[in-house]
Chains A and B, each alone.
Chain A
Amino acid sequence: MAARGVQQLKQVTSQHEGFLRHSGFRWLKIALTISLLAIVVYAFDDVQPRPNGGSAYGYFLGTVGLLLILWLTMLGIRKRAMTTGRWSLKAWTSAHVYLGLSLIVIATLHTGFQFGWNVHTLAYVFMMLVILSGIYGVTAYAALPRALSNNRGETTQAQMLDNLRMIDRQLHDAAQPLDHRYAEMVRMSLDDDPFGGGAWARLTSHYPRCGTRRAQAAIRQVTGPNARIGDDPLEKIDVLLERKQASLSRMRQHLRLKALLEVWLYVHVPLTFALIAALFAHVFAVFFYWG
């Protein structure tokens, strides 16, 4: 029995081979070979007075790097068509990741370690930022989904929002008999957009202008000095706000994890196009001025 269980487990794990370990790390091996080869040739290429992108090998590396960048960008188109087999999307993604990493070596050797405040280094910096965001993306995809599911428990996003809406309705009903002044306090919470606060608030889960917290603070300022407990309708509001607070914080953690999972693409994709534009300017400048 136990043996069969283990066997089943093995099968399951082999079926879940991710894009990183696709085909026994085939593309990792290819990328490493390319990088190593590039380094060895660089070491033996005697460019005087010092290595630069304008040497024969420099032009070669630059051309390879340019074509590689354009091919890597094609993943954006390729990913919209899922296929299987040797040229499956998974294989393509695996190649994208590892060949993308090998660009660090190829492009750095292309620079000949000459950097400056110019369009050439700008293209390099964009490329490195794209690669770094990609590395972050792979790491985030590996680590964050587990945290996301832990935080969510069994609830779905829709349920999270419904829960919030239910509390809001209760708050709204409970506040009906209240004076305008108190009603305004409750409205601070009700009118607050749970999805507001901007990108930074999402990424940090830090909401300094949270309406619910402000509402609760205002209510407590009123009820604080009040000795009577239980018969004040504001007490009920306070309890509801407390519940809303708890519900919000869980949702915000969810939003944060989701944002952390998604944010790299907002660097990776737009900067890729910035890179292609800078690359165009780089190549244009080279052909414009020559050596």
Chain B
Amino acid sequence: MSSPFSSTGVETLSFLVRQISRTADGREIVRPRDFAASELTIGRSTECDIHLPDLAVTLHHATIRQTGPSGAEIVAAAGLPFDVNGRSTERAEIDAQRGANIRIGSHLIAVSREADSDAIVLTVERVGAVSDASEAKDEEHAFSLASALPGKRVMAWSFIALVLAAFLAWPLFSFFTNHETPATIAANGTQARPIAFHADEMWSSGKLSQAHAQLENNCKACHVQPGVAVRDSSCIACHANVHEHADPRRLAASMPQPNAGQKVQLAFKGAFNVPEGRCADCHTEHEGAVAMAPTPQKFCSDCHANLKSRLTDTAILNAGDFGTDHPQFRPAIQTSALPPVVQRLSLDARPIQDEGVKFPHNVHLSATNGVARMAQTMRADFGFGKSLACADCHVPDATGTNFRPVTMEQNCQMCHSLAFDRIDGTVRTLRHGDPAQVVADLKAFYRSTGPVRPISLGGNARRRPGDFAAQATQAQFSFASATRYGRADGAIRATFSEGGVCFECHRVIQPAQSGTGTFGIVPVNIPDRFFRKGWFDHASHQTETCVSCHAAPTSASAGDVLLPKIDSCRACHGGESSAKQVKSSCAMCHDYHRDGLAPEESRSRNGGRRGGTTEASRSIIRREG
């Protein structure tokens, strides 16, 4: 390669520097300067050949040297780099023919070659502003907060996208990927869908009731189809044994005509395909993680407050509100023990019951008579107090709601003894509940079957000499039969008659006049529940004493119906919206679907059991002892 110096000559080596500046109105001023030197200094110092008044440039920043007719070399002088064609470097070879851009600080030096002047041209221009503030700015925008925040439109669209994705698309995806149905949940239990967060739960308007808590993460347990209100089929998938309230036709007949407001509601429901009379109409859900609220009173009173006007043949009396519009209680009373007759009678009619037993409560509860004295003597064995108390006989059942049946063996026999004999310290008692056995035992006691007929007393034996012994046997047997038979008969009659041990408590059926047959007892029937259509939970009434409702201490006859009248209840209980101490809707005592179990409200109050708790029953046992 030949040297450029030999081909062009030394005298032609030169730089042409054009320094461009601009006036305030943007006009360009070019100041050209010729340098007949092969090397130029570049820097902020005024002594430099190319003076760059730029703080980003050092006093002597770089040196540019011509290496040929169109070749040049730029070298950093203070160890600080510069940009050549956008690349940061401290040294670069430049071909002026092809051109190059050198950037130092805010200044741009464009290198080119001009053919006619035969020099390397360096065009120097300030391209950056003196300071950041000096740069051209959209003033209105810069001073506004808009320059520091993303735009409102951008934010609005982002929010819309975010909200729709998280709260619409995601739950929809979650719903459609859940393939459970009420039937599969009823069959496989509620754990089929993993217990985790499912996006469709974000649509839940509130926690489910405690009874349905396990369905919380499975919306499809009830909401089967999109856009379709919960149908009864969802409920029935699990609640298979719930029976109807009444014959559907009679139910329909008893419904009142809808008023204007209800008509509007019905129209809306019809328009949105929500059928009438769904389970969910009464049993509202998503009301919080508490016991499912009892059905409000109006759901009952809508029909029952004025039922008779629409269902004219019904035996059910109108009832609209426990406090103000409820008939007197009508318990099922057995008015005749034999033949058994049970009637629903109002307590206002002062019915007399016949349970087939004689039992004066007043005598037994007296604190001063022989009963009390006897109870005191048996204190150690039976835990009686100074006199008998209600709880000595009436023991709550396992639920605390009702009482165990009163029985002869458990509750009477310790005083009303059926003992009649003692053999070697063992007391023999008559068999309770079995009159034939009683008769047999008494006859046995008196040997009343008569002596066994001696074998020698043949029936049709011919009389022969020497029959004297047989005659003596005959005579003795006849005597024994006559004397001993008669005593048992009397004893039996005495037992079953006034003053006898049976007669004391029971009504006796006499043997027929003909002398055939034997004594019988009128069957005793003490009902376990008087109210078949209502419910009373004793466990919930522990704050009361027995006698505050039941007038037992003054009752002299078992014929007295000792149930309290409605006024007694109304001392504390009023209707759903009354000011009484205990607001009581229908659902507190009545159950819409079934009569054999405690109403839902009572059950949920007692910890979900179908009746009371054992704690409740234990505490009730000796309250009055």
Q: How far is the CA of A56 from the CA of B227 in the complex (A)?
A: 19
Interface residues of B, dominant DSSP: loop
Contact partner, A290, options B274, B288, B577, Cβ 8 Å: B274
Q: How far is the CA of A272 from the CA of B265 in the complex (A)?
A: 32
Among residues of A, the one whose C-beta sits closest to the C-beta of B577 is A46
Residues of A within 8 A of B244 (CB): none
A120 to chain B, nearest CB (A): 6
Interface size on A, residues (CB 8 A): 74
Interface residues of A, dominant DSSP: helix
- Residues 202 to 234 of chain B near chain A (Cβ within 8 Å): 202-207, 219, 223, 226-230
A107 to chain B, nearest CB (A): 15
Q: How far is the CA of A171 from the CA of B205 in the complex (A)?
A: 65
**Which of A175, A191, A258, A277 has the most chain B CB atoms inside 10 A of its CB?**
A277
Residues of B within 8 A of A192 (CB): 132
Known contacts A116-B204, A258-B145, A270-B159: does B139 contact A157 (CB below 8 Å)? yes
B327 to chain A, nearest CB (A): 24
Q: How far is the CA of A189 from the CA of B134 in the complex (A)?
A: 12
Since A202-B145, A288-B226 are in contact, a sample of 9 more A-B pairs with Cβ atoms closer than 8 Å, ordered by chain A residue number, is A53-B205, A169-B134, A171-B131, A187-B56, A269-B156, A270-B155, A273-B156, A290-B229, A291-B230
Known contacts A56-B265, A176-B44, A266-B155: does B145 contact A199 (CB below 8 Å)? yes
Kindly state whether residue A221 has any CB partner on chain B within 8 Å. no
Residues of B within 8 A of A195 (CB): 137, 142-143, 147-148
Among residues of A, the one whose C-beta sits closest to the C-beta of B297 is A48
A225 to chain B, nearest CB (A): 24
Question: Which 9 A-B residue pairings sit nearest by Cβ, starting from the closest?
Answer: A49-B293, A48-B296, A270-B155, A274-B159, A168-B131, A290-B229, A190-B131, A285-B203, A277-B163
Among residues of B, the one whose C-beta sits closest to the C-beta of A260 is B145
A-B contact pairs, 11 of them (CB 8 A): A117-B202, A157-B139, A168-B133, A180-B59, A199-B145, A201-B148, A202-B148, A271-B159, A273-B160, A277-B159, A280-B164
Cross-chain contact B56 with A50 (CB below 8 angstroms):
no
Contact partner, A52, options B155, B158, B205, Cβ 8 Å: B205
Kindly state whether residue B280 has any CB partner on chain A within 8 Å. yes
Residues of B within 8 A of A193 (CB): 132-133
Known contacts A49-B284, A168-B133, A266-B155: does B205 contact A120 (CB below 8 Å)? yes
Kindly state whether residue B144 has any CB partner on chain A within 8 Å. yes
Residues of B within 8 A of A289 (CB): 203, 219, 223, 226
Kindly state whether residue A99 has any CB partner on chain B within 8 Å. no
Cross-chain contact A49 with B287 (CB below 8 angstroms):
yes
B259 to chain A, nearest CB (A): 12
Contact partner, B55, options A190, A259, A277, Cβ 8 Å: A190
Q: How far is the CA of A114 from the CA of B285 in the complex (A)?
A: 13
Q: How far is the CA of A128 from the CA of B500 in the complex (A)?
A: 87
Among residues of B, the one whose C-beta sits closest to the C-beta of A173 is B53
Among residues of B, the one whose C-beta sits closest to the C-beta of A266 is B149
Residues of B within 8 A of A10 (CB): none
**A-contact bits for B286-300, CB 8 A (1 contact / 0 none):** 011000011010100
Cross-chain contact A122 with B265 (CB below 8 angstroms):
no
- Residues 31 to 65 of chain A near chain B (Cβ within 8 Å): 46, 48-50, 52-54, 56, 59
Cross-chain contact A281 with B287 (CB below 8 angstroms):
no
Contact partner, A116, options B146, B175, B205, Cβ 8 Å: B205
List residues of B whose CB falls within 8 A of some A CB.
44, 53, 55-56, 58-59, 78, 80, 130-134, 137, 139, 142-149, 152, 155-160, 162-164, 167-168, 171, 175, 201-207, 219, 223, 226-230, 261, 264-265, 268, 272, 274, 280, 284, 287-288, 293-294, 296, 298, 577
Cross-chain contact A48 with B298 (CB below 8 angstroms):
yes
Kindly state whether residue A276 has any CB partner on chain B within 8 Å. yes
Among residues of B, the one whose C-beta sits closest to the C-beta of A284 is B168
Residues of B within 8 A of A172 (CB): 53, 55, 130-131
Contact partner, B171, options A202, A276, A285, Cβ 8 Å: A285
Number of A-B residue pairs at CB separation under 8 A: 189
Kindly state whether residue A278 has any CB partner on chain B within 8 Å. yes
Kindly state whether residue A15 has any CB partner on chain B within 8 Å. no
Cross-chain contact B139 with A194 (CB below 8 angstroms):
no
Kindly state whether residue A198 has any CB partner on chain B within 8 Å. yes
Q: How far is the CA of A251 from the CA of B296 in the complex (A)?
A: 67
Kindly state whether residue A209 has any CB partner on chain B within 8 Å. no
Cross-chain contact A50 with B205 (CB below 8 angstroms):
no
Q: How far is the CA of A50 from the CA of B292 in the complex (A)?
A: 12
Known contacts A56-B261, A262-B144: does B59 contact A179 (CB below 8 Å)? yes
**Which of B133, B143, B228 has the most chain A CB atoms inside 10 A of its CB?**
B133
Kindly state whether residue A241 has any CB partner on chain B within 8 Å. no
A51 to chain B, nearest CB (A): 10
Kindly specify which of A19-27, A84-92, A158-166, A228-236 makes contact with the partner chain.
Answer: A158-166
A99 to chain B, nearest CB (A): 21
Q: How far is the CA of A53 from the CA of B144 in the complex (A)?
A: 42
Contact partner, B227, options A190, A197, A287, Cβ 8 Å: A287
Residues of A within 8 A of B156 (CB): 269-270, 272-274
Q: How far is the CA of A234 from the CA of B58 in the complex (A)?
A: 17
Q: How far is the CA of A105 from the CA of B244 in the complex (A)?
A: 42
Cross-chain contact A281 with B167 (CB below 8 angstroms):
yes
Contact partner, B132, options A194, A288, A291, Cβ 8 Å: A194
Residues of B within 8 A of A255 (CB): 143
Contact partner, A180, options B78, B203, B287, Cβ 8 Å: B78
A228 to chain B, nearest CB (A): 22
- Residues 242 to 273 of chain A near chain B (Cβ within 8 Å): 254-255, 258-259, 262-263, 265-266, 269-273
Known contacts A118-B203, A171-B131: does B293 contact A48 (CB below 8 Å)? yes
Cross-chain contact A187 with B145 (CB below 8 angstroms):
no
Residues of B within 8 A of A291 (CB): 229-230, 274, 280, 284
Kindly state whether residue A135 has any CB partner on chain B within 8 Å. no
Kindly state whether residue A119 has any CB partner on chain B within 8 Å. yes
Kindly state whether residue A217 has any CB partner on chain B within 8 Å. no
Cross-chain contact A165 with B219 (CB below 8 angstroms):
no
Kindly state whether residue A72 has any CB partner on chain B within 8 Å. no
B357 to chain A, nearest CB (A): 46
Residues of A within 8 A of B207 (CB): 116
Q: How far is the CA of A169 from the CA of B577 in the complex (A)?
A: 83
Among residues of A, the one whose C-beta sits closest to the C-beta of B295 is A48
Cross-chain contact A119 with B132 (CB below 8 angstroms):
no
Q: How far is the CA of A255 from the CA of B284 in the complex (A)?
A: 55
Q: How far is the CA of A281 from the CA of B172 in the complex (A)?
A: 10
A75 to chain B, nearest CB (A): 14
Cross-chain contact B203 with A262 (CB below 8 angstroms):
no
Q: How far is the CA of A250 from the CA of B228 in the complex (A)?
A: 64
Q: How far is the CA of A136 from the CA of B574 in the complex (A)?
A: 50
Kindly state whether residue A186 has any CB partner on chain B within 8 Å. yes
